[in-house]
Amino acid sequence: MSRNTRNSSDQQLPGSVRLHALAFMLGFGCLLLIGWVAFPALLYKNTPQPLSFNHRLHTKIADDGCNSCHFFRKDGRFSGIPGIETCRACHTKVETGGDSETQLIRDYIAKTVEIPWQVYARQPDSVFFSHAAHVRSAELGCETCHGDIGQSAVSRHYEENVMTGYSRDMEESMKMDDCANCHEETKQDGASAQTDRDGCFICHK
Amino acid sequence: MISGTKAMKTKTKQTYHFGMLIDLDRCNGCGSCMVACMSENNISFRPDETDKQTSITWMRMYRISNRKPFPDTERCFLPMPCMHCEGKESGHSPCVSVCPVTATDYDRNTGIVSQIPSRCFGCRYCMVACPYHARSFNWWDPVWPKGMEQMLNPDVSVRMRGVVEKCSFCYHRYQSARDKAHLQGRPRIEESDYQTSCTEACPTGAITFGDLNNPQHRITQMVNPDRNLSGKPRNPQVFRLLEKLGTNPSVYYHSSKQWVREVSDNHIDDKGRS
């Protein structure tokens, strides 16, 4: 067989092989779509927050930045989600006329009802997290764990994993491995007799 | 995201060794410690709590007797929480050394044997290893009478079916005490910052809780532990249960009665004879 004929036979593959290749590529593409688009869409339930909160605007106006609404109590506990009384301290009447502010005053402040926020960073029940240890003693910034939420202008949707019931944010950047990695690097006490790493009760309850 | 941040400041090494001293001369067996413990630690209960094979308690009250006929009969109540054994070497507690999944661990910073129920897979090897029967197994998911779940302590995680649980020396109170100390910039916690629920509940003040490494704490002054002999009490009226096993418990007992002290080690003398 001459060289030319071999080349021409390579270029003209039999119809069945081309069909198979096409079917494979289509199937591959379909599975990718299922894996990247359909499965996450099914896995995570999207719900809007009750109000859209503008962090960027509030941190500019509030006297003490993040600490104005997210503060430590005297006993060392952290008041993460501010209660309605904290909002009431500034919002007595509608000033800007924005939808969110009107809704806040009409539905929550006037009726003294707590806003049912869905917390992106809500941890499982077995987790103990000390804000005092991380923010005060270790001097970590809020953004270290919470990202740039302080710069956001709108509240994005809360995504809940329907299988675990946990927030997607927590799964992506606040897993036990994320805590353990940092504790491995910075080793606070290495108190565990079994692993020589930090003790379990540092983060668990 | 988190691993790439600046290193946390490491603080000066601080080591506690929390321990408990129960004065059996004062204990009248009222059971307040058990009740306080159950409500503090969200311990589930069964419709029939008299069935002690399936009921759960972190603080078990035993009644012992000198087995003498009247009028020489004497009785004594013996409350038993987890002994938080240190073992001969630091952390070689009976339960910790057998746990296949690191669900239970000895914390060298506090001397507390931790139990993480969400990690436990229920093999119950630790229950077999524990010479004090301090551990309980959850045969059922907890069921609370309607409305009672509102009274659960948010600082203590409720356990599920299929895991082992035990006394934690109210570790969540230590966590709260540390939170407060962090906020106030104190490197150490005070004796009064961290007391267990049973200690506070005892009406006769039979339970003393504190740091055995701190000579200022009442427990250290009363026990006077000898660190060269694995914390063996120097006070002749203070003893530990099954001392000769070498489990090195952090729970001490005080009794002025000779027979009570002998029961603590099954009447075995120093030469191993009963």
**Which residues fall within 8 angstroms of residue A199, CB to CB, at 6 or more apart?**
A189, A191, A192, B105, B107, B108, B109, B110, B114
- B256 touches A: beta carbon within 8 Å: no
- What's the mean pLDDT in A34-45? 91
User: What is the pLDDT confidence band of residue A6, given thresholds at 50, 70 and 90?
Assistant: low
Residue of B nearest to A174 (CA): B2
pLDDT in tens, B70-114: 999 999 999 999 999 998 877 889 999 999 999 999 999 999 999
Question: What share of chain B in percent tops pLDDT 90?
Answer: 77
CB contact residues (below 8 A), chain B span 156-175, against chain A: 156-158, 168, 171-172, 174-175
- What's the mean pLDDT in B234-255? 93
Q: Does residue B8 sit within a domain?
A: no
Q: Does residue B24 sit within a domain?
A: yes
- What's the mean pLDDT in B35-62? 91
Q: Does residue B2 sit within a domain?
A: no
- What's the mean pLDDT in B165-188? 94
Please judge whether A193 and B156 are an interchain contact, meaning their C-beta atoms are less than 8 angstroms apart. no
Range in A60-69, A157-166, B100-109, B180-189 the model is least confident about? A60-69
Query: How far, CA to CA in Å, does A107 sit from each of A51, A98, A100, A112?
Result: 10, 14, 10, 8
Q: Does residue B132 sit within a domain?
A: yes
Residue A10: predicted pLDDT: 55
Mutate which of A75, A139, A177, A205 to test chain B, going by most B C-beta atoms within 10 A?
A: A205
User: What is the pLDDT confidence band of residue B274, given thresholds at 50, 70 and 90?
Assistant: low
Nearest to A168 by CA among A204, A128, A127, A118: A118
- What's the mean pLDDT in B207-235? 93
Q: Does residue B191 sit within a domain?
A: yes
User: What is the pLDDT confidence band of residue A70, given thresholds at 50, 70 and 90?
Assistant: very high
Please judge whether B105 and A192 are an interchain contact, meaning their C-beta atoms are less than 8 angstroms apart. yes
Confidence (pTM): 0.86
Question: What share of chain A in percent tops pLDDT 90?
Answer: 47
Q: Does residue B159 sit within a domain?
A: yes
Q: Does residue B272 sit within a domain?
A: no
Range in A56-65, A72-81, B152-161 the model is least confident about? A56-65
Q: Does residue B149 sit within a domain?
A: yes
Q: How far is CA A18 from the centre of its chain?
A: 45
C-alpha span between B245 and A157 (Å, rounded): 58
Nearest to B212 by CA among B20, B12, B84: B20
Residue B270: predicted pLDDT: 65
Average pLDDT of chain B to the nearest whole number: 90
- Residue B73 structural domain: 18-45+54-263
Residue A7: predicted pLDDT: 52
Does B130 or A64 have the greater pLDDT score? B130
Q: How many structural domains comprise chain B?
A: 1
What is the ipTM for the molecules in this complex? Answer: 0.81
- What's the mean pLDDT in B19-48? 94
* B273 has a pLDDT exceeding 90: no
CATH of the domain at B251: 3.30.70.20
Residue B5: predicted pLDDT: 35
How far is B112 from chain A, CA to nearest CA, in Å? Answer: 9
